[in-house]
């Protein structure tokens, strides 16, 4: 007796290999079983998708290869997981195998059954408490009224919940209590908590461990993110898959983890762009979370559900709109814990500041005053390095990257010119490479320079203990070494540092208690960017940054958010001043509606990488030509191919073509019909020099 399992293996969407491959097996294999199968000369990991008792038509036994073996001791991936993967593959136009295998820990491929058995044994149960109290006390404090109301409403909500809670309103405590309740209700319940970047908020992990390890056992909380070693990832994944982990804390990749007991999914800071993957299958983990909650709920008994909670002080306009329409339930927590006020907005009109001032004198004076009182300040700017360009004023030479259409950034600390796109790094030349002029100078400014200037400007300012003011910097450069982020966060928490300069990294999620002043010194680029989402991102960034100030209620009344701008009359600032996200969202949504932009219209991008810009665009335009007459062609608009803003990176030319449709369904069906055409168009003569193409559905940046 033989069986014919169809197995999905890791094949990129464009390899031409079908959704699954048929193999032969002596034993029937349950769908979801993990197997090793031969593929060409290699042996690869695969997931059984289906298993037939008769060979598929046209296939003989001799034409199929046998399954090499199955991964023993692992329960099959369940049907809900497979449905999620299938949906993600279809929706984001990728192959089933690519999505399925990317969701598994890479180390699973290399493990023998003996090694696997050892791993599984090592993870044997550690003292689980069967009686988890439902809990209603926050770290020894009582819940605020708003927290309690939100939790009561959560208990009843059937739809996904949008938890619209101000910065410092205590959203984390709501997540913790909702988690506790979900775990108390079912002995095998699991909870998935997603955060944009786990490293930035070590406090969150600490709080979950502190709360749940005593209740559920030492191995109950695991993390899942790309910063982990392959062994750690495997270990977390196994714990989640076997049900030993009750709580998985992770970044966007965690949305595809196998969680057989899933009852609650929390997406913290749901507006954060990092939930959208920018490579491979370009999925939105937030959107998949909502889909996953629905699939899990459908499989449960009537009245039971897998709840989805999306939390933010500045929700995405997509989620906000869904709540307006009643698809999501909006729960608001406008008040900060302790009743503290949100910081007052102070706009600095740069038209009235001394010429060339990077930091306005009144801002420096305000910071000096705060430091003198033992309070802390944050200074935000979105550029790391010392200066974005180095230039020769004699001949016009600029620090262009040889491989990209971008300038290399001047890093003064190690005296390098570094390309932030391809990584190309060189020592700073002593003289202009073109004309020999010795006077080459930085243009514009980055975090290194602002740190240096602030240290100079605040040199005479004293802290209450009499010591000099201390300025530090936190960005991708200062936190590159393992452990350095934790150290820097600790110096901030302990009060060693008075002023922290940094990129948006410092604006996110931190609960620094002594910050009373936050300043954004070059926000204007977000006001007039061509990207229609730029205002949304700027508003969120400034609200989040402001949210770092005055978290200690005793000091909140005097806390301030300073914004340096050349356009103080811009309407975005009017809403920001009132901390009025709803007003901002309403005006933005009205603009989107009149322009047919998301969430009212739907978009996809076809991107092409090629040796020449001409080839990239020619491929895209040829693919658009070949789309004429496809199903739903009438319902979509295809725009001409254009180069990306940074059109060349690492000597690869990049172009894209926008597809728009009024209906998501029409767009989806058109893209499905277009996929084979995209593959065929690769062999057109125009496409010579094409390296790859990719479809990005619901792109965040167009
Ligand atoms: P958010 O995520 O909404 O910005 P947090 O969850 O970080 O807010 O909460 C802000 C602060 O308030 C934290 O230090 C937290 O420990 C504290 N907190 C939360 N809930 C309560 C409560 N009910 N009573 C007292 N303190 C609380
Ligand atoms: Zn020169
Ligand atoms: Zn480069």
pLDDT tens track for 615-643: 999 999 999 999 999 999 999 999 999 99
CB of 201 closer than 6 angstroms to any ligand 1 atom: no
3-state secondary structure of 520: strand
| Band of residue 512 on the pLDDT scale cut at 50, 70, 90 | confident
- The verdict on the CB of residue 286 being under 6 Å from ligand 1 is no
CA angle 217, 144, 543 (to 5 degrees): 95
Find the mean pLDDT for residues 107-125: 81
Per-residue pLDDT, averaged over 477-505, amounts to 91
Q: What is the mean pLDDT of the chain?
A: 92
pLDDT tens for residues 198-219?
777 778 889 999 999 999 998 9
Which is it for the CA torsion 268, 270, 271, 275, positive or negative? positive
For tokens 């907005």, the residue is 345
Q: Is the pLDDT at 301 greater than 80, yes or no?
A: yes
The rounded distance, in Å, linking the Cα atoms of 641 and 655 is: 7
Mean pLDDT for the stretch of residues 52-81: 89
Q: Facing residues of 660 across strands?
A: 603, 637
Question: How would you write 624-646 as a 3-class SS string?
Answer: HHCCCCCCCHHHEEECCCEEEEE
Q: How many CA atoms lie within 13 A of 583 on its CB side?
A: 10
Q: Which two tokens stand for residue 347?
A: 């706009």
User: What atom of ligand 1 comes closest to residue 167's alpha carbon?
Assistant: 4
- Segment 526-544 mean pLDDT: 91
The verdict on the CB of residue 177 being under 6 Å from ligand 1 is no
How far, in Å, CA of 93 to CA of 373, rounded? 56
Which residue shows structure tokens 């926000």?
523
Q: 146, 149, 173, 342: which to mutate for ligand 1, most atoms within 8 A of CB?
A: 173
Choose the residue to mutate in 164, 167, 170 for probing ligand 1, maximizing ligand atoms within 8 Å of C-beta. Answer: 170
Over residues 244-288, the pLDDT tens digits come to 999 999 999 999 999 999 999 999 999 999 999 998 899 999 999
Q: Which helix (H) or strand (E) holds 364?
A: helix 361-372
Q: What distance in angstroms lies between residue 338's CA and the mean position of ligand 1's atoms?
A: 9
Integer Cα distance of 518 and 345 in angstroms = 10
Ligand 1 in contact with 656 (CB < 6 A)?
no
> In whole angstroms, what separates CA 372 from the centre of its chain?
38
405-452 pLDDT per residue, tens: 999 999 999 999 999 999 999 999 999 999 999 999 999 999 999 999
How large a percentage of the chain has pLDDT more than 70?
Answer: 97
Looking at residue 19, its pLDDT comes to 76
138 in contact with ligand 1, CB cutoff 6 A: yes
Which letter does DSSP use for residue 462 in this model?
B
Does the beta carbon of 143 sit less than 6 angstroms from any atom of ligand 1? Answer: yes
Burial class (CB in 10 A: 0-12, 13-18, 19+), 663: middle
Is residue 695 within a helix (H) or strand (E), and if so which, with residue range?
Answer: strand 690-697
* Nearest by Cα to 612 from 568, 571, 648: 648
Atom number in ligand 1 closest to CA 166:
3
Which ligand has the minimum distance to the alpha carbon of residue 340?
1
- The residues with which 608 forms a beta bridge, in sequence order, are 655, 693
Confidence check: pLDDT of 535 > 80 = yes
User: What's the mean pLDDT in 562-566?
Assistant: 96
pLDDT band at 123 (very low <50, low <70, confident <90, very high): low
Closest atom of ligand 1 to 172 CA is: 6
Instruction: Please report how the helices 664-681 and 79-91 are oriented relative to each other, as an axis angle in degrees rounded to 10.
Output: 70
Report H helices in 123-266: 145-156, 171-185, 202-216, 230-241
Residue of 166, 172, 211 with the most ligand 1 atoms within 8 Å of its CB, for mutation:
172
What ligand has the least distance to the C-alpha of 548?
1
CA 426 to CA 446: how far, in whole Å?
18
Supply the pLDDT for residue 94: 92
Mean pLDDT, range 225-242, rounded to an integer: 94
Spatial separation of the C-alpha atoms in residues 105 and 669, rounded to whole Å = 32
Phi, psi of 405 (to 5 degrees): -90, 65
Instruction: Decide: 337 in ligand 1 pocket, CB within 6 A.
Output: yes
Half-sphere exposure of 3 (CA within 13 A, CB side): 15
More confident site: 691 or 227: 691
**Dihedral sign of CA atoms 211, 212, 213, 216 in order:** positive
Q: What is the mean pLDDT of residues 293-302?
A: 96
C-alpha span between 365 and 352 (Å, rounded): 16
CB 393 within 8 A of CB 434: no
| The pLDDT of residue 124 is above 60 | no
Q: Please, which pLDDT band fits residue 56 given cuts at 50, 70 and 90?
A: confident
Q: Span 660-676, mean pLDDT?
A: 96
Can you tell me the mean pLDDT for 556-574? 92
Centroid of ligand 2 to alpha carbon of 399 (angstroms) = 11
Q: Is the dihedral of CA 451, 452, 457, 459 positive or negative?
A: positive
Are the C-beta atoms of residues 70 and 35 closer than 8 Å to each other? yes
Residue 686 CB–ligand 1 contact under 6 Å: no
> Rounded to the nearest whole angstrom, what is the distance from the C-alpha of residue 168 to the centroid of ligand 1?
6
Does residue 434 line the site of ligand 1, with CB under 6 A?
Answer: no
Indicate whether 125 pLDDT > 60: no
CB contact at 8 A, 184 and 133: yes
Paired tokens of 127: 């003292």
Give 5-18 pLDDT, tens digit per residue.
999 998 765 555 56
Whole-model pTM?
0.94
Q: In this structure, which residue's CA is closest to atom 24 in ligand 1? A: 141
Task: Centre a 10 Å sphere on the Cβ of residue 224 and count the other Cβ atoms it contains.
Answer: 25
Strand partners, 442: 390
Tell me phi and psi for residue 177, to 5 degrees: -70, -40
Which structure tokens are listed for 640?
């001409």
């Amino acid at each position: 007796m033989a069986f014919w399992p169809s197995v999905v293996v890791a094949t990129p969407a464009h390899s031409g290999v079908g959704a699954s491959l048929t193999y032969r097996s002596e034993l029937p294999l349950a769908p979801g079983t993990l197997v090793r199968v031969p593929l060409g000369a290699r042996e690869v990991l695969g997931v059984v998708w289906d298993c037939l008792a008769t060979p598929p038509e046209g296939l003989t036994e001799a034409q199929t290869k046998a399954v090499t073996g199955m991964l023993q001791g692992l329960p099959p991936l369940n049907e809900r997981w497979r449905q999620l993967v299938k949906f993600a593959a279809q929706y984001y136009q990728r192959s089933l195998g690519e999505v399925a295998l990317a969701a598994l820990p890479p180390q699973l491929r290399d493990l023998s059954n003996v090694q696997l058995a050892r791993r599984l044994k090592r993870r044997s149960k550690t003292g689980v408490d069967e009686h988890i109290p439902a809990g209603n006390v926050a770290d020894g404090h009582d819940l605020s009224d708003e927290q309690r109301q939100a939790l009561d409403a959560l208990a009843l909500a059937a739809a996904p919940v949008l938890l619209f809670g101000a910065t410092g309103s205590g959203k984390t405590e709501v997540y913790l209590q909702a988690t506790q309740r979900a775990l108390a209700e079912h002995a095998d319940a699991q909870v998935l908590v997603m955060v944009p970047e786990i490293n930035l908020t070590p406090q969150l992990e600490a709080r979950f461990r502190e709360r749940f390890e005593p209740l559920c056992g030492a191995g109950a909380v695991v993390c899942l993110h790309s910063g982990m070693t392959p062994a750690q990832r495997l270990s977390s994944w196994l714990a989640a898959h076997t049900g030993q982990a009750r709580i998985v804390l992770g970044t966007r990749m965690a949305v595809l983890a196998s969680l057989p007991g899933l009852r609650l999914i929390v997406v913290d800071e749901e507006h954060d762009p990092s939930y959208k993957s920018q490579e491979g299958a370009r999925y939105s983990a937030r959107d998949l979370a909502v889909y996953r909650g629905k699939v899990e709920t459908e499989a449960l008994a009537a009245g039971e559900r897998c709840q989805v909670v999306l939390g933010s002080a500045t929700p995405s306009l997509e989620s906000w709109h869904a709540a307006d329409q009643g698809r999501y339930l909006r729960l608001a927590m406008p008040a900060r814990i302790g009743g503290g006020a949100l910081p007052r907005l102070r706009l600095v009109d740069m038209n009235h500041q001394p010429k060339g001032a990077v930091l306005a004198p009144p801002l420096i004076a305000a910071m000096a005053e705060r430091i003198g009182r033992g309070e802390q300040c944050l200074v935000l700017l979105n550029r790391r390095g010392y200066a974005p360009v180095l230039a020769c004023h004699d001949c016009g030479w600029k620090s262009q990257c040889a491989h990209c259409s971008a300038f290399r950034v001047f890093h003064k600390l190690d005296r390098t010119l570094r390309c932030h796109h391809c990584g190309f790094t060189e020592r700073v030349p002593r003289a202009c490479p073109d004309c020999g002029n010795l006077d080459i100078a930085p243009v514009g400014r980055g975090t290194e320079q602002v740190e240096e200037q602030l240290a100079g400007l605040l040199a005479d300012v004293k802290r209450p203990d009499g010591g000099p003011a201390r300025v530090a910097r936190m960005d991708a450069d200062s936190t590159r070494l393992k452990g350095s982020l934790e150290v820097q966060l600790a110096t901030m928490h302990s009060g060693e540092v008075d002023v922290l300069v940094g990129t948006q990294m410092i604006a996110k999620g931190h609960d620094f208690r002594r910050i009373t002043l936050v300043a954004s010194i070059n926000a204007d680029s977000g006001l007039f960017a061509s990207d229609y989402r730029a205002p949304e991102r700027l508003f969120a960034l400034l609200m989040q940054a402001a949210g770092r100030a005055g978290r200690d209620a005793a000091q909140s009344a005097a806390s301030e958010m300073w914004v340096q701008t050349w356009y103080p009359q811009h309407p975005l600032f009017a809403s920001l001043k009132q901390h009025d996200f709803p007003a901002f969202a309403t005006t933005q949504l009205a603009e989107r509606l009149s322009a047919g932009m998301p969430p009212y219209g739907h978009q996809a991008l076809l991107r092409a990488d090629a040796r020449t810009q001409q080839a990239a665009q020619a491929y895209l335009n040829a693919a658009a030509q070949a789309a004429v007459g496809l199903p739903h062609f009438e319902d979509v608009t295809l725009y001409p191919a254009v180069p990306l803003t940074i059109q060349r990176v690492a000597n690869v030319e990049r172009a894209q073509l926008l597809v728009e449709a009024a209906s998501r369904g029409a767009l989806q069906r058109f893209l499905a019909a277009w996929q084979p055409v995209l593959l065929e168009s690769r062999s057109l003569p125009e496409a010579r020099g094409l390296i790859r193409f990719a479809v990005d559905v619901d792109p965040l940046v167009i």
